[in-house]
Every structure is written in structure tokens, then in C-alpha cells.
Structure 1
Amino acid sequence: MRVAVLGAGYAGLTLARTLERTLPADADLVVVDESTDHLVQHELHRAVRRPGLADEITVSLTDALDCEVRQATVTDVDADAGVATLETPTGGEETLEYDVGAVCLGARTAFYGLDGVREHATPLKRLADAREIRRDFLELADGDRVVVGGAGLSGVQVAGELAALADEEGMDVEVCLLEQAAEVAPAFPAAFQRAVHDALLDAGVSVRTGTGVSGAEAEAVTFDTGEALDYDQFVWTGGIRGSPALDDERPVVRADLRLGASTFAVGDAARVVDSDGAAVPASASAAIREASVAADNVAALVEHRRNGGGGFEPRLARYRFNVPGWLVSVGDDAVAKVGPTVLTGRPALALKTTVGAGYLGSVGAIREATDLVREELGIGGDAVPAVPDDIVDVSAAE
């Protein structure tokens, strides 16, 4: 009996670590990812300003897992047959057959076919992107402008980091954040939006909402109105699309996360409709919580098939989205919404750092967790802060 977890982001790593504890001893668990490391995506923006933080936000998969880990790119998935096509690091192709599996391939940056945007903008999905954004920024001259397209949480965070980096380097560079919707952080509550907007202005970021990008040239972004805005650096965080293994789509799955007869879909790889019929936002918090439901359902399906697979399939658990807290950093500031309360400044930053460190601790990365706390909050000690059960950072996903 083989169980395959395809992808080792938030959803995949959390699912695999749970399955290691819950699967029967005769089940073989294999995890496939294109990288040998897990990236803590919601802290990636920090590496733009603090390159040394890269070590604290990456976790070796072989350190975090005791099962088989294969480095390969998943290029196709047959969710009913239980077959994944893999491209190896040397460029070869192989097939992975599994009895029960989960697609946890995350999402890619969406450029929406906007003319010139893919060619001229840098996304922020990998450490290499963070290094490129930093390098290009430090080559700017006084009076230059950086345009960040998309004011979801990823865009807010990278704009905040660039503004803080300009202050640290004594650079007179404008950081301009664009958003098509009427407010920044458009998918979030109004009180949170207002606090984020104010934090951006306090950080020195210029904000333009109600501004839809129609395309880009080498030195200018064009808008739906026909207006153009010159730039010297262009960063794009405007949305997400599905994995190429799923034809760039994020298929809709219901609350049991079932994608096919042999496969579940977890995290940003799919559009999840929860048990209340509500669309679940793409976020780290949802991915981690969905992984718990997926682990129960994978285990149930494995047990059913080990027993011959006859009769009715087992009743599957259903996911319900419920995250009462939201967190985002803006340079050296942060904004948190906990229930009806909005926090800013040091308390919000401490909460965000605690959540990040707690997640690292949950995947066995204790050293990285303590180093993150020291780096972010400037404190010592070996203890990993506890994570409030009802607060999970969602800033990884855009």
C-alpha cells in the first residue's frame, strides 16, 4: 500500500508529518517535491531586507520527515487512477503509482495574460526571487520608483520591506503599491484594511487603489484608464494560478477535499468549498487546517482498501474554515486582527513572530524557530513561544 504526498509546502509537510504517525506500519509513505527544502512562505518577504534570514525560513525535508522523500517536479496527475508523472532533476521522466494520494502542489503567480507583466516584473515565490528583488533595489538611484502590483498580503509585506530597506540604506526611492480593488487587503475585514493602509502610509509607501493594471513595458506600467506610471523596478504579487500539473487550474473540491477516486487536494492547489458551502481563501492557515482533515480521510481510505475495498466507502471528514485572526507585517510594523480587536506595532509584530516560530517548531525546526525569534524581536533564549490555538498567519498566500 503506497501513499503519496505530492508537494511539501504548508499543506504537504503538515499532512506528511501527520501521516507518519497515523498510517499503519505496512503503508509506504512517499513525499515528492521539486526542492529538498520546505520554505516558510509567509516570512519570505523578510529575506528581501535580511538575506541571512533565509536559513531560518528553510527546513530540510529529510530532517523534517522520516519517510521516503523524492526530489522531482510533478508534471501531471491522474487523480482517479492514482498516477503521477514526475520530471527528475536530470530531466528524465518517471511514473509514480499510488493507492491513495494528496495533491499539495500549492499555487503559482498569476499574470492574467497582461501584456508585458510576466516579462518585466519579478514575482515573490522563491528565495531566488527575494534575492533578485533585493539586488535590483540596491542598484536604484535617488528619485527612482519601485512599483509593487497587487495589495494583497504578499504585496503589502514586500512593499513594507522595500520601504524599510530604503530607510536603512538612506535611499530616496519611492515605493508605490497598486491595487485594483478599492482597498488594500481587499479580501479582509474593513477594520483590518484601514489599519494596514495606515501602516503602509506610516512606512512611507505610496498607495494607489482602484487602479487596474492592463500591461507593462520596460519602464512603465499601463492602467485600464490608459494612464501610464513610470518605474525603475517592478514587483508583481497580483494573484495566483494552479500548478502546471493541474493544467494551471485550481480545481474545485468540496469539504472532504476529494479530487478523484484515489486522490485528495489540499491547500492552494485547489479551490476548496467548506462544509458551510463557503469558498475558502488561499492561505497558510487554511492549508494547515485542511491537512488535518486530509490526514483523517487518507487514513480512512487506506484502511478501507487494506480491508478489500468492498461495500460502501468510509464516511469522510469535512473541513470547515474558521480562522478568527489575521496577521501581516509592514516593514518594522505589523497589523493583527484578533476577533474584533486590531493590534499594531510591537504587540502585533510579536504575535506574528510567535506564530511563525510556532509553525517552525511544529515541523521540528526548533533551531530555526529560536533563530527567527532572535532575529525578528531581538531577544535571546532557547524557548520557542507557544502558538495561540486560534490564530494562524495567512500572509503566505496571494
Structure 2
Amino acid sequence: MAIPKIVIVGGGAGGLALATRLGRKLGKKNRASIVLFDRNATHVWKPLLHELATGVLNSSMDEVDYRGHSSAHHYRYLRGSLDGLDHEKKVIHLAPIMDEDGIEVLPAREVSYDYLVLALGSVSNDFGTKGVAEHCHFMDSPQQAKAFQHDMINTFLRYTDPALRQYKQLTIGIVGGGATGVELAAGLLDATKLLNAYGVMVEDHQSINVHLIEAAPRLLPGLSERISQTVQQELEEMGVTVHVSTSIQEAQAYQLVTGDGEVIETDLNVWAAGIKAPPFLAELGLTTNKKNQINVNQTLQSVDDKHIFAMGDCASCPQEDGSTVPPRAQAAHQQAKVLAKNLIHALDEKPLQNFNYRDHGSLVSLAHYDAVGSLMRSSASRGLFLEGWLARQCYASLYRMHQLAIHGAAKTGLSWLVDKLSRYLKPRMKLH
């Protein structure tokens, strides 16, 4: 008798953690075949993409190779991009894999499953704003982060020659005052100092002008007002120009046009103003919401098919208070734990467990300058407000917790040691 086959599509924070857990609990004992599909060959923790974009993160050290990881954790990794779903036949359709020159590497394929997990994350939501796709960078993937870093380095180099300068000051516009926008703004000022240290002639951090633009009345609208005010004050002291209650009606070459008609001249633009699930999810024959998220029950099962589960940013999971689970990395990690149990219970024909999100707080990094946030939040408490050195240590621990979930204690400890040694052996910034 063939063993059950669990297919996971998407190797982000939640999908990789789930594959790891199921590999240890089911794959190792040959109780089920665990297969993970992802369009990329390696994994980078999404909250670190702003560091990759500024060159502070060396992806060759912090990325996880799916093939190597899968062999060590008892699941299979296959390269693939979801293109369709036949949930009556329990088959997914995969698009062809092409190389950089457009030559087909793998043909279109069909893969059967007994249980399917969709963990496809999210993409930027430009809300149909004119010119955004053509004139703004996005931060949805390592490839996009590296593309921004490439353009950023070239733009800095152009500013070493007065004849090539677009404006008096190199100007970067960031649309979106959430965590990504805030962390990127601080990271860019940090990168400026590093570029100067490595011989790219930028006089000081005032030589770069960063505009951070948020449509809501304050930055970080999803967090407490105290955190928002503290972060804005810190950014402004660094030299960031903060615009709140400011919408963008159009992005053009080298400028952003606000809803009031004001023109902000820029050399580079980044769009980080919201997220949605990938649009093709609305075409799979499953019930979705306006953000293309798959509607699931509290068990994380699709409302349409008990053999299909969804988790992370691509799922709309209700909670008992009438809210839905927010699109955060900590939510994806919590869901991976519950979903691993539920898939095991499903195989054993036992009742499934409801997922109840617990908000452990939020932390925002301001590069090497500072970190701000709160911990141990609950429905009855705002949590413990943190800033400074302690907040920075707590922020760093979030990545270690992710590594712990996918690598285990021994390898996470060794990774921490390697990171410490690398600070002395290698440059702080990757320049290519």
C-alpha cells in the first residue's frame, strides 16, 4: 500500500518550517512522503530582504539550499511553480522551468497529492497606482532585493561624477511606512556610511535624501502609537524626510506624484505600501477574498476542500473575535506548528485542532542605530515597550528562532558562531 503524499507549495518561513517538522515526524519514519515545491533553489527569510537590498546581508551565507536541507530533514524538494489545480483529481499543475536565456529546463508537469498545503506568501499590492510597476522596485523576493541593490550601487557611483548627477542630492523615495519601509529607510542611511568607508565617495549621511511616504496618519499603523511616534522621531533625527497622510497617485521616471499634486523628485523608488496574495490563487477554483487569500477554517483547511490547507500570508484564517490572522512571520511559524499536528491527525483520522494566533509583540529594526517594539502582547495588555540595545538583541533573536525551527539547536548555534566570526573576517557590506 502506498504511503500518503503531502505536497507543500511554497518554501517561505511557514512552508519550510512545516516541511521540516513533517519530515522529522513523518518522513523519517516513512509514514508519509513529504514533497516541497518552490520556484527558487534557495530560501532567504523574508524579513531580511531589506538587509539584502542594502548589501548588509550576504545571501550566500544566510540562504538555505533546499536540496541540501531536504536531504538532512527527510523530505523531498522539487523545483516548480504552481500553475493550476484540479482538486477533484487531487493534482497540481506546474509551469515549465526556464533558465536565464529562456531555454526550457523542466517541462510543464502534473503532480498528485493526498494532502496539499499552499504556503505561497504574498506580493506587493500597488492598488492599481499608475506607473508603479514600471518605475518602482519591490521587495517580495531575493531577486528583487538584489536588483534594487545593484541599481543603488550604480546610482551611488554616478553621484561621484558631478556631470552624471540627477539632482543635488541622491534621493530615494520609499512608499509605505510599514515595517519594510521603515527598516529599509534606516538601512539606506547605514549603507551610505559603509559605501563611504569602502571608497564610494559620499560625503556623509546627509548626502542622501530618503523620503518615507505613508498614506495613513502615522507610520506603522498596525502597531501602537507609542512605537509609531518613537520610530518617526528616530528616523527624522537620522535625516529621513517622513510624509504621513500622503498618498501616491502616480509614479514616474525619477519622481513620485502625491495625491495633492506635489512632485517628489527621486533617483530610485521602492514600493512597500501593502501586500496581497499572488493573483493566480483566485483562479484555482477555491474561495478567496479581495486580496486573493484562500479562505480557510480555523483548522487551516480550505472552506471548499478538506484535503487542501493554506497558511501564512496567502490564507485568510478567521479568529474567534471576528478578526483574521495578520500577515506576519510569527503567524506563519505558529501555523506551521499547528498544521503539522493537524496533518498527522488527518492521517490518523483524529479531530483537527483550531489555530489561535497569539501576538507575541512586534519589533522594528533601525539598522545599527536602534530597534523599537513591544513584547508579550495580549488582548488585555499592550506588552512591554522596548528600545535600544535590548530591543536590538530581541530583534536578532527572531531570526535565530527561525533558524532553530528549520535547522535545530546544534546547527543554529554553529551559525551564530560563524556570523560572529564573519564580522571580523569579511566586509560589513556586500558590494556586488
Q: TM-score range by the shorter chain?
A: 0.7 to 0.9
Candidates 222, 237, 255, aligned match of 1:220: 255
Choose which of 51, 60, 72 in structure 2 pairs with 1:55.
Answer: 60
Among 364, 375, 383, which residue is 1:328 paired with? 364
Judge conservation of contact 1:77–1:84 (CA < 8 Å) in 2. Answer: yes
Q: 2:81 is matched with which residue: 62, 73, 82?
A: 73
Shifted more, 162-171 versus 121-130: the winner is: 162-171
Aligned residue for 1:19?
A: 22
> Given the superposition, is the C-alpha separation of residues 329 and 52 from structure 1 closer, same or farther in structure 2, using an over 3 Å criterion?
closer
Residue 281 of structure 2 contacts residue 292 of structure 2 at CA under 8 Å; is this kept in 1?
A: yes
1:335 deviates by 1.2
What pairs up with 1:302-321 in 2 under 5 angstroms? 302-304=347-349, 314-321=350-357
Q: Which amino acid aligns with 1:269?
A: C
Cα gap change, 1:63 to 1:37, in 2 (>3 Å): same
Higher relative contact order (CA 8 A, sep 6+): 1
Cα distance in 2 between the residues matched to 1:372 and 1:77: 41
Which residue, out of 185, 190, 193, partners 1:159?
A: 185
Is 1:295 the counterpart of 2:340 in the alignment? Answer: yes
1:190-230, CA deviations, whole angstroms, 9 ceiling, x for partnerless residues? 12212221222233211101011111111221122222221
**Aligned partners of 2:81, 2:56: CA distance in 1, in Å?**
26
Match of residue 28 from structure 1: 33
CA distance in 2, matches of 1:98, 1:379: 48
Distance 1:280 1:79 in 2: 25
Matched residue of 1:195: which SS? helix
CA RMSD of aligned residues (A): 2.1
TM-score (ref. length: structure 1): 0.86
Match of 2:265 among 205, 227, 230: 230
- TM-score, normalised on structure 2? 0.80
Aligned to 1:35, what secondary structure does the other structure show? coil
Paired residue for 2:91? 83
Measured at CA, do residues 352 and 153 of structure 1 come closer, stay the same or move farther in structure 2, by a change above 3 Å?
same
Q: Is the 8 A contact 2:51 2:57 kept in 1?
A: no
Which of 267, 282, 306 matches 2:312? 267
Deviation at 1:155, TM superposition (A): 0.9
Which residue of the other structure, out of 120, 143, 150, is the alignment partner of 1:105? 120
* 1:258 paired residue among 301, 318, 321: 301
Instruction: State how many pairs are aligned.
Output: 369
Matched residue of 2:355: which SS?
A: coil
Give the distance between the partners of 1:351 and 1:284, measured in 2 at CA.
Answer: 15
Amino acid at match of 1:354: S
Per-residue CA distance 1:49-85 (angstroms, 9 max, x = gap): 3355213331111232221110011122345643211
Question: Within 2, Cα distance between the matches of 1:207 and 1:68?
Answer: 46
Whether the 8 Å contact between 2:52 and 2:146 is mirrored in structure 1 is yes
**Aligned partners of 1:12 and 1:207: how far apart in 2?**
35
> For residues 7-40 of structure 1, what are the alpha-carbon distances to aligned partners after superposition, in whole Å with 9 as ceiling and x for unaligned?
1111111111111233362421111111121111
> Alpha carbons of 1:73 and 1:137: their partners in 2 closer, same or farther (altered >3 Å)?
same
Q: Tell me: CA distance 1:291–1:78, structure 2 relative to 1, closer, same or farther (3 Å).
A: farther
1:198-209 matched pairs, under 5 angstroms:
198-209=233-244
Q: Distance in 2 between matches of 1:373 and 1:321?
A: 33
The match for 1:383 is none
| Of 172-181 and 342-351, the range deviating more from structure 2 | 342-351
Quote the offset at 1:3 in angstroms: 0.8
Which amino acid counterpart does residue 332 of structure 2 have in structure 1? A
CA distance in 1 between counterparts of 2:250 and 2:263 reads 9
Contact 1:11-1:290 within 8 A present in 2 as well:
yes
Tell me the SS of whatever aligns to 1:211.
coil
Which secondary structure does the structure 1 equivalent of 2:191 belong to? Answer: helix
Are the aligned partners of 1:253 and 1:271 in contact in 2 as well (CA < 8 Å)? Answer: yes
Gaps of 5+ in 1: 305-313, 381-398
Q: Secondary structure at the match of 1:315?
A: coil
Identify the residue that residue 42 of structure 2 maps to in structure 1: 37
Shift of 1:283: 0.7
Are the structure 2 counterparts of residues 251 and 26 from structure 1 closer, same or farther at C-alpha, using a change threshold of 3 Å? Answer: closer
Q: Which among 3, 7, 10 is matched to residue 10 of structure 2?
A: 7
- Deviation (angstroms), 1:342: 2.0
Counterpart Cα distance in 2 of 1:321 and 1:270:
13
* Long gaps (5+) in structure 2: 98-104, 160-167, 197-201, 283-290, 377-382, 426-432
CA shift, 1:236, in A, is: 0.9
What amino acid does structure 1 have at the position aligned with 2:171?
R
Aligned residue for 1:135? Answer: 150
Structure 1 residue aligned with 2:218 = 183
Which residue does the alignment assign to 2:165? none
User: Bigger shift: 11-20 or 127-136?
Assistant: 127-136
Letter in 2 for 1:2: K
* Deviation per residue, 1:263-304 (Å, 9 max, x gap): 100101112212443211101000010111111221222223
CA distance in 1, matches of 2:216, 2:88: 39
* Greater Cα offset, 8-17 or 314-323: 314-323
| 2:55 and 2:191 in contact (8 A); partners too | no
Describe the superposition over 1:229-273 as per-residue Cα deviations: whole angstroms up to 9, x where unpaired: 211110111111212441371122231111123110010111221
Q: Specify the SS of the correspondent of 2:219.
A: coil
Contact map agreement 2:55 2:149 (CA 8 A) in 1: no
Deviation by residue 1:346-384 (Cα, 9 ceiling, x = unmatched): 221111112212321331153444444556xx599xxxx
Residues 220 and 231 in structure 1, CA contact (< 8 A), matched pair in contact too: yes
Larger Rg: 2
Whether 1:361 aligns to 2:376 is: no
The amino acid that maps onto 2:345 is A
Structure 2 residue matching 1:261: 3-state secondary structure: coil
Q: Is the contact between residue 79 and residue 261 of structure 1 (CA under 8 Å) also seen in structure 2?
A: no
Counterpart residue type for residue 274 of structure 1: Q
Q: Distance in 2 between matches of 1:219 and 1:11?
A: 37
| Preserved contact between residue 145 and residue 174 of structure 1 (Cα < 8 Å) | yes
